[in-house]
Amino acid sequence: MISHEEAQRYVLDQVRPLSRIEVDLEFALGSVAAIEVVAKEAVPPFANSAMDGYAVRSTDTSDAPVDLAVIGTLTAGHATDQVIGAGQALRIMTGAPLPAGADAVVLLERTQSTDSTVTVQIVVSPGTSVRTTGEDVRPGDLIVASGTILTPSHLALLASVGVDRVTTFRKPRVGVLSTGDELVNNGALGPGKIRNANGPALRGLVRELGFESVDLGVVTDDEDELTEAIERAVATCDAVVTTGGVSVGDADNVRVALEHLGAARWMQVALKPAKPLAFAVVRDVPVFGLPGNPASAIVSFELFVRPALLRLAGRNDTNRLEVLATAVEGLPRARDGKTHFLWVAARQDDYGSWTVQLVGNQRTRQHAASANAFVLLAEGEGITPGSSVRATLVTYR
Ligand code: AMP
Ligand code: MG
């Protein structure tokens, strides 16, 4: 048996980011920038008012309160040729360009106005309530570094300097193939048949990462059929995930099929659940052979497939957030030479401290559904109530 860390490393070492692709900003969310973006424009592009108020010459306010003549009004999106002279003011709204002559804005709440006069009650200095040209971004500024995961804020930044396309790493299109003579997708269950639970689960896990999933359906345990199905899959997908048929049973032919197709490695991981794992790179496409047991398949995806898919998408850091938590109840375990993967409910109290508690019965399939974190419990006797343990958050529920 090998450790899960070694299996993770083995897989990650063989996975490289996909090709670069230029996409519209509209489709860039969640992608990783493949090249740096340097601003060619300034933000804001012109000096403008940061407040609703009056544009003034700051020197006019030194003996405030003072009455100034209002020579016009300007709202955002418009410009004026008017020049603010001594003793004059222009009513101005947030975002409107600062008129010539003015060097400050007095906020509306600090003024009183009649028809054509405004009483300014405060002294302002040059630049008060004015946003200067290039205050946020100057031409030449690096706004997105290569390797950045593009968030809505990055999209705002790019849009603000007129960039509407961005070069990213392609996101993987991930095929999911369920294998087993016993599987049916829908309709009546014949003798010995069960429903395909892993297909929807794994496709959901792929989509949760923001990637496209492809339903490759169900294929029987037949060696030739498996080989052909995987061959077809790698022709159209950037990664392929299969479930079932990777143990040591008579019908476990996925590992055999993978061996026909490429440099496959079959691993026995010191992990419970999810001990067997097959991995191969077939015509440059990583193929993951996960166990069929639904609880194992999800764990195997979390530890081995997820980091690899993120790497394909150009992510450098594929780790999830870990917190140090107190185990409310003990997490006892038997020595069996394996690391135990336990689904837990992690909660944070008002002071920021985390606790974890086992959810459900770890042997049933429902447990993962109500968990928001997991604990990898090292070989040993487990831990006693009140001990500290590292928990990995998988959602923020
Ligand atoms: P295997 O890894 O093929 O030995 O399968 C292990 C167990 O998981 C068996 O009881 C299978 O019937 C079950 N199983 C395999 N694939 C699926 C699937 N897609 N959905 C639900 N159960 C499955
Ligand atoms: Mg099977």
How far is Cα 336 from Cα 122, in angstroms, rounded to an integer? 77
Helix 223-236 crosses helix 254-261 at what angle (to 10 degrees)? 60
Query: Could you tell me which residues come within 8 angstroms of residue 351 by beta carbon, excluding any fewer than 6 positions away?
Result: none
Whose CA is closest to atom 16 on ligand 1?
292
How far does the centroid of ligand 2 lie from the alpha carbon of residue 160, in Å?
54
Is the CA virtual torsion 133, 41, 35, 27 positive or negative?
positive
Can you say whether residue 72 is alpha, beta or left, with left for phi > 0 and alpha for psi between -120 and 50 degrees?
A: left
Mutate to test the pocket of ligand 1, among 189, 205, 243 (most ligand atoms within 8 A of CB): 243
Whose CA is closest to atom 7 on ligand 1?
293
Ligand nearest to the CA of 296: 1
From residue 315, how far is each of 33, 207, 299 by CA, in Å?
9, 16, 21
What does the DSSP assignment read for 287-347? EEEE-SSHHHHHHHIIIIIHHHHHHHTT-S--PPPEEEEEESS-EE---SSSEEEEEEEEE
Tokens of 278: 């097959």
Question: Do residues 39 and 161 touch, judged by C-beta distance below 8 A?
Answer: yes
Nearest CA to 276 among 236, 317, 248?
Answer: 248
Question: Do residues 91 and 74 touch, judged by C-beta distance below 8 A?
Answer: yes
Name the DSSP letter for residue 248: S
From residue 172, how far is each of 22, 118, 238, 389 by CA, in Å?
15, 62, 5, 34
Mutate to test the pocket of ligand 1, among 218, 220, 275, 293 (most ligand atoms within 8 A of CB): 293
For range 193-217, the mean pLDDT: 97
Mutate to test the pocket of ligand 1, among 185, 186, 196, 198 (most ligand atoms within 8 A of CB): 198
Query: Which pLDDT value is given to residue 360?
Result: 78
Query: Which pLDDT value is given to residue 367?
Result: 67
Query: Which pLDDT value is given to residue 370?
Result: 82
Selected residue with higher pLDDT from 238 and 365: 238
Question: Do residues 240 and 257 touch, judged by C-beta distance below 8 A?
Answer: no
| Average confidence score pLDDT of the chain | 96
How far is Cα 305 from Cα 318, in angstroms, rounded to an integer? 11
Query: Could you tell me which residues come within 8 angstroms of residue 250 by beta carbon, excluding any fewer than 6 positions away?
Result: none
From residue 127, how far is each of 44, 55, 102, 105, 132 by CA, in Å?
15, 11, 9, 8, 8
Query: Which pLDDT value is given to residue 46?
Result: 98
How far does the centroid of ligand 1 lie from the alpha carbon of residue 43, in Å?
57
What does the DSSP assignment read for 197-219? -HHHHHHHHHHHTT-EEEEEEEE
**Model confidence over 245-266: pLDDT tens digits?**
999 999 999 999 999 998 899 9
Whose CA is closest to atom 5 on ligand 1?
292
**Model confidence over 1-19: pLDDT tens digits?**
999 999 999 999 999 999 9
Question: Do residues 308 and 211 touch, judged by C-beta distance below 8 A?
Answer: no
**Model confidence over 359-390: pLDDT tens digits?**
976 555 566 778 999 999 999 999 999 999 99
| Ligand 1 atom closest to the CA of 276, numbered from 1 | 2
**Model confidence over 144-163: pLDDT tens digits?**
999 999 999 999 999 999 99
Nearest CA to 242 among 233, 250, 251?
Answer: 233
Ligand nearest to the CA of 181: 2
For 225, phi then psi, to 5°, come to -65, -40
Nearest CA to 100 among 90, 112, 109?
Answer: 90
Ligand 1: list residues with CB < 6 Å: 178, 180, 182-183, 194, 196-199, 243-245, 247, 249, 291-294
**Model confidence over 256-292: pLDDT tens digits?**
999 999 889 999 999 999 999 999 999 999 999 999 9
Q: pLDDT-derived band of residue 115, with 50, 70 and 90 as boundaries?
A: confident
| Ligand 1 atom closest to the CA of 246, numbered from 1 | 2
How far is Cα 390 from Cα 392, in angstroms, rounded to an integer? 7
For β-strands 66-74 and 88-92, DSSP reports them as parallel
Query: Which pLDDT value is given to residue 194?
Result: 98
Whose CA is closest to atom 3 on ligand 1?
244
Tokens of 176: 């999911």
In 33-191, where do the E strands start and end? 37-38, 48-49, 53-56, 66-74, 88-92, 104-107, 111-113, 117-120, 130-131, 142-144, 165-169, 173-179, 183-184
How far does the centroid of ligand 2 lie from the alpha carbon of residue 204, in Å?
21
For β-strands 339-348 and 354-358, DSSP reports them as antiparallel
Query: Which pLDDT value is given to residue 365?
Result: 55
Is it the case that residue 396 has pLDDT exceeding 90?
Answer: no
Ligand nearest to the CA of 243: 1
Three-state DSSP class for 63? coil
Query: Which pLDDT value is given to residue 366?
Result: 60
**What percent of the chain has a predicted confidence (pLDDT) above 70?**
97
| Ligand 1 atom closest to the CA of 251, numbered from 1 | 3
| Ligand 1 atom closest to the CA of 182, numbered from 1 | 12
